[in-house]
Amino acid sequence: MTRLLGIETSCDETSAAVLEGAGDAVTLCAQVILSQDVHRVFGGVVPELASRAHLTALVPVVERALADARTDGAPEIDAVAVTNAPGLVGALLVGVCFGKAFAYARGVPVVGVHHMEGHLFATSLEHPGAVPPFTALLVSGGHTLLLDVEAWGRYRHLGATRDDAAGEAFDKVAKLLGFPYPGGPPIERAAAEGDPARYRFTRPMLHANQRPEDPGFYDVSFSGLKTAVLLAARDAGDLERERAHLARGFQDALIATLVEKTYRAAREHGRTRVVLGGGVACNRALVAAMRERLAALGATVYAPSARLATDNAAMIARAGLFHLERGARASLDLNAFASAPIPGLITE
């Protein structure tokens, strides 16, 4: 049994968590997530401000998590897991430097964790069934990834976005419709009031006769949809009156594509479990549509609750535990990288 401190600072959430256990039998003892609100006035994350906010917040966030995890006496921490890629490099460095210093001071090992692998593990923290083999759809602000997960650490890359990530599409469409940042939640709320028949945008990258060997079979793309919404908004006249309908048309098209691509992935690989992750997995309409479509395969869809869908340190600790158990140890020159492929990709 290992007790880990997880640290996540790749974007605009400063988070620390204490997780203990072995393999998939883990307990989340404490988690603190501090969302930086300084970016709201700019309508998007400002990297330099994110780094500075992590610097101020990280020590108290870790102290709070350690204090919350305390059962009797000081919590023993056996290892540290910290996100070191991908993300904003200045923001990542704050977590990486802190994690290494903490580990060095306590004489415990540290491991670097790939942020998207963290998202892959997140759902299993609250759904014991969300373990391999499964089809994974990771939809966040920076990434959209469709993977076949044979086992933890063995991932087959099936598809990705060719331009905007799903969350980025929500954020950009929100901006052009006049909703605040981050755009996912206000679009979802507005879409619930919108008329689905008013704007029916083309479903991106979906053609009836696509075959698994076609390059576009699993990939997605949202920039054309974003432009279609922009043009429709310009023609709409009274944007105030049309906003909810436009939000609905956009969300329906994006969801239809994500659901169909995930359905194809599960069908082609004979998976009966589908795991969603990333901030966009908070979207109830996406989860409902996914469940409805995947029921045709008799597949169960697992979606994380909001605190594990958006960026958090618990998922980093869980992915870090997996690597520690396999013997991984980072040296004290562990660095941060803005981009890096998810580890464990099957290449043949």
Per rule CB under 6 A, is residue 9 in the interface with ligand KG4? no
Token digits of residue 48: 């330099």
Per rule CB under 5 A, is residue 311 in the interface with Zn ion? yes
The residue range among 121-129, 165-173, 213-221, 336-344 that interacts with ligand KG4, by the rule CB under 6 A, is 165-173
Chosen residue from 95, 182, 249, 320 binding ligand KG4 by CB under 6 A:
182
Task: Yes or no: say if 122 and 319 are a contact pair by the CB < 8 Å rule.
Answer: no
Per rule CB under 5 A, is residue 144 in the interface with Zn ion? no
Per rule CB under 5 A, is residue 140 in the interface with Zn ion? yes
Per rule CB under 6 A, is residue 177 in the interface with ligand KG4? no
Per rule CB under 6 A, is residue 282 in the interface with ligand KG4? yes
β pairing state of 25-35 and 13-22: antiparallel
Report d(CA 329, CA 103) in Å as an integer: 11
Give the rounded distance of the alpha carbon of 126 from its chain centre.
15
Other Cβ atoms less than 10 A from the Cβ of 326: the count is 10
The region that residue 302 occupies, defined by phi over 0 for left and psi between -120 and 50 for alpha, beta otherwise, is beta
Per rule CB under 6 A, is residue 167 in the interface with ligand KG4? yes
Residue 188 binds which entry of ligand KG4, Zn ion, none, CB below 5-8 Å type-dependent: ligand KG4
The region that residue 184 occupies, defined by phi over 0 for left and psi between -120 and 50 for alpha, beta otherwise, is alpha
Residue 282 binds which entry of Zn ion, ligand KG4, none, CB below 5-8 Å type-dependent: ligand KG4
Chosen residue from 99, 132, 142, 249 binding ligand KG4 by CB under 6 A:
142
Identify which of 306, 309, 203 has the alpha carbon closest to the alpha carbon of residue 259.
Answer: 203
Residues that bind ligand KG4 (CB under 6 A): 11, 140-142, 167, 170-171, 182-185, 188, 278-280, 282-283, 310-311
Residues that bind Zn ion (CB under 5 A): 140, 311
